Structure formats: structure tokens, C-alpha cells
């Protein structure tokens, strides 16, 4: 199955990416930016909403490496500021807010890893507060910008294969990243291995069972194919954390858009 505009190669998803149940039921069909339609299913066992059929791993790897953060694609997605480098200044207040939330639980010194660090706004904020901060990001132009323009340490690649030290980080952040993982259990287990026992995880992600999603249906901001492939609610995100080495500390709603979850968890101590 191929989208003519983005050339999206798709494949069927036989089992839920979280609990492996085969009891998935079609929930909603959503337009793909640039043309085409995506189908999301709900898992009857754990409540995860997942795209089915979903983009192949080969497509996603190439897309995140070369396309996702380009001004051209962001224009198609409807961003007010297509060039994310120009967006950096306008997001500094939000990055301050995120760092404040983290520091309610942990304070520097320590090592901070931002997964999906884009153009480095959160790493920069953390570094100015005394954290030994670094990131991982698949999009090559963003990595080069972080390194060359901001003098930040950023590894290029995806979390599954990244060359990062085990049990090294005191804080790991994932801002609007979890929903992009087509294999969320494997990704979160890998992230758990990078964290020190007792370290903090903070993530945000769209909740498909939020009132905002239920009221606005196909117009909800969290349905964003082809990149949002797995969407978690209060129950399913807790299940994911507990299965991958994390103890949930707090899961709350009311983020920067209607239906956003904000999650805090602690790496399980041995």
C-alpha cells in the first residue's frame, strides 16, 4: 500500500504493539497530510490505539532521517512556523516549564538525555541549569545544527541502535516522542537500560481517549499519520511503563494542547 504523495509503504499490524493481543477493532479513519487515509484500531485488551496498516520500519527510518523536520513537510502538516530553527526562540518559555517540572523531582548535577531532541531547545535549557545534557535525534540537519550552531552533544540515530552508555543518565525526557515508536515496548526497554536505577523519566504524548479526542473525533490534533503510530491513554501508558522497568510516579492531563498526557516515572531499582 503506497501513498502517492509521500510514498508511504504500509504493512498490516497483526497484533497490538503493546500487549500482543489480536483483538483489534477499527476505530477511526484520518486523512494523511499530503493525501491518503490512515486507519487506527483500538486494542480490546489494553486500550492502545494504533495505526493499522502502519508504515514499514524502512519508510519510518528514511522519513525521520531526511524528511520529518524539513520546512516543506512541516508546511504540509500545518505548522505556523515551518522552519523549526525559527521556532526555537518562541519555545523557550515551554522549555523552561519542562525543566521546572523535571526539577520538581530531580536537581543538577547529573546527566540528562533528551530523546528526539530536534533542534536542541530542551538540551540547551537543561545545560544552562547545570545539567550535563545531551540528545539523540534521527534528523541529520537538526543534529548538525545542534552541534555546529549551539555546541550541543547530539547523537544521530534512533534509540534502538544508538551508541549510548548503559545506566548512565539521571534524567531522560521524551517530549512528543512515544507516539512515534512502532515498537514501543522494545524502545522503552532500551531507554530503561540507559537510565540509572532511580533516575527520572518525563514524557508527553497524545491521549486518544481524552475528552478532547472523543469530542473532536477525526479533527483532534493527536491523530497525526503517518508519524503517530501508537497512542496511549492513562491505562496503556502505565502498563507500558510497568512492563519496561519504570515505576509510574504521576500521570496527568492538561498539557500544551487538548488531550496531552504528561508522565513522570522512576527507573526501577534492582
- pLDDT per residue as tens digits for the range 206-220: 999 999 999 999 999
Q: What is the pLDDT of residue 270?
A: 62
Q: What is the pLDDT of residue 161?
A: 86
Q: What is the pLDDT of residue 200?
A: 98
What is the arithmetic mean of pLDDT over 89-115? 97
- The phi-psi region of residue 42 (left if phi > 0; otherwise alpha if psi is between -120 and 50; otherwise beta) is beta
Q: What is the pLDDT of residue 2?
A: 40
Q: What is the pLDDT of residue 30?
A: 96
Q: What is the pLDDT of residue 79?
A: 82
The CB-side HSE value for 69 (13 A sphere, CA atoms) comes to: 21
Q: What is the pLDDT of residue 133?
A: 98
Q: What is the pLDDT of residue 4?
A: 44
Long-range Cβ pairs for the range 135-139 (8 Å, 24+)? 136/162, 136/164, 138/61, 138/64, 138/65, 138/68, 139/64, 139/65, 139/66, 139/68, 139/69
SS3 track for 222-255: CCCCCCCCEECCHHHHHHHHHHCCEEEEEEECCC
Task: Indicate if the pLDDT at residue 1 is higher than 60.
Answer: no
Task: Indicate if the pLDDT at residue 221 is higher than 90.
Answer: yes
Task: Indicate if the pLDDT at residue 43 is higher than 50.
Answer: yes
Residue-range domain boundaries for the chain: 85-267
Task: Indicate if the pLDDT at residue 6 is higher than 80.
Answer: no
Rounded Cα distance, 147 and 155, in Å: 9
Q: What is the pLDDT of residue 23?
A: 96
Confidence band for 34, pLDDT divided at 50, 70 and 90: confident
Give the range among 36-45, 64-73, 224-233, 234-243 with minimum mean pLDDT.
Answer: 64-73
Give the range among 4-18, 52-66, 120-134, 161-175 with minimum mean pLDDT.
Answer: 4-18
Of 232, 228, 226, 231, residue with least CA distance to 10: 226
Residue 261, SS3 per DSSP: strand
Q: What is the pLDDT of residue 112?
A: 98
List b or e across 110-140, with b for residues whose CB sees 16 or more CB atoms inside 10 angstroms: bbbbbbbbbbbbbbbbbbebebbbbbbbbbe
Task: Indicate if the pLDDT at residue 127 is higher than 80.
Answer: yes
Task: Indicate if the pLDDT at residue 224 is higher than 50.
Answer: yes
Strands 246-252, 260-267: pairing is antiparallel
- Condensed to tens digits (0 to 9), the pLDDT of residues 61-86 reads 999 999 999 999 988 888 888 888 88
Confidence band for 33, pLDDT divided at 50, 70 and 90: confident
- Read off the pTM: 0.94
Rounded Cα distance, 94 and 92, in Å: 5
Fill in the DSSP letter of residue 179: G
Rounded Cα distance, 135 and 128, in Å: 15
Rounded Cα distance, 147 and 123, in Å: 11
Within 32-138, strands assigned E span: 37-43, 49-51, 54-55, 111-115, 132-137
C-alpha grid cell, residue 8: 508511504
CATH annotation of 85-267: 3.40.50.150
**Residue 127 parent element (H or E):** helix 121-128
Q: What is the pLDDT of residue 7?
A: 82
Task: Indicate if the pLDDT at residue 168 is higher than 70.
Answer: yes
- Is the CB of residue 120 less than 8 Å from the CB of residue 154? yes
Amino acid at each position: 500500500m503506497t501513498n502517492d504523495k509521500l510514498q508511504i509503504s504500509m504493512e498490516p499490524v497483526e497484533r497490538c504493539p503493546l500487549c500482543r493481543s489480536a483483538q483489534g477493532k477499527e476505530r477511526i479513519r484520518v486523512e494523511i497530510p499530503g493525501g491518503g487515509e490512515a486507519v487506527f484500531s483500538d486494542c480490546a485488551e489494553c486500550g492502545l490505539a494504533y495505526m493499522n496498516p502502519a508504515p514499514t520500519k524502512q519508510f519510518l527510518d528514511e522519513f525521520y532521517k531526511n524528511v520529518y523536520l524539513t520546512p516543506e513537510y512541516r508546511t504540509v502538516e500545518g505548522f505556523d512556523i515551518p522552519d523549526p530553527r525559527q521556532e526555537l526562540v518562541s519555545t523557550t518559555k515551554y522549555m523552561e516549564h519542562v525543566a521546572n517540572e523535571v526539577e520538581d523531582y530531580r536537581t543538577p548535577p547529573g546527566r540528562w538525555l533528551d530523546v528526539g531532541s530536534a533542534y536542541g531547545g530542551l538540551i540547551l535549557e537543561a545545560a544552562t541549569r547545570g545539567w550535563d545534557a545531551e540528545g539523540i535525534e534521527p534528523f541529520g540537519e537538526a543534529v548538525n545544527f545542534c552541534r555546529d550552531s549551539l555546541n550541543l552533544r547530539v547523537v544521530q540515530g534512533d534509540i534502538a541502535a544508538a551508541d549510548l552508555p548503559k545506566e548512565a543518565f539521571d534524567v531522560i525526557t521524551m517530549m512528543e516522542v512515544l507516539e512515534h515508536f512502532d515498537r514501543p515496548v522494545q524502545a522503552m526497554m532500551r531507554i530503561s537500560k540507559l537510565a540509572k536505577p532511580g533516575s527520572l523519566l518525563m514524557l508527553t504524548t497524545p491521549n486518544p481517549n481524552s475528552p478532547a479526542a472523543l469530542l473532536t473525533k477525526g479533527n483532534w490534533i493527536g491523530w497525526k499519520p503517518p508519524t503517530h503510530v501508537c497512542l496511549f491513554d492513562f491505562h496503556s501508558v502505565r502498563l507500558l511503563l510497568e512492563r519496561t522497568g519504570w515505576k509510574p510516579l504521576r500521570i496527568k492531563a492538561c498539557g500544551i494542547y487538548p488531550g496531552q498526557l504528561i508522565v513522570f516515572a522512576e527507573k526501577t531499582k534492582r
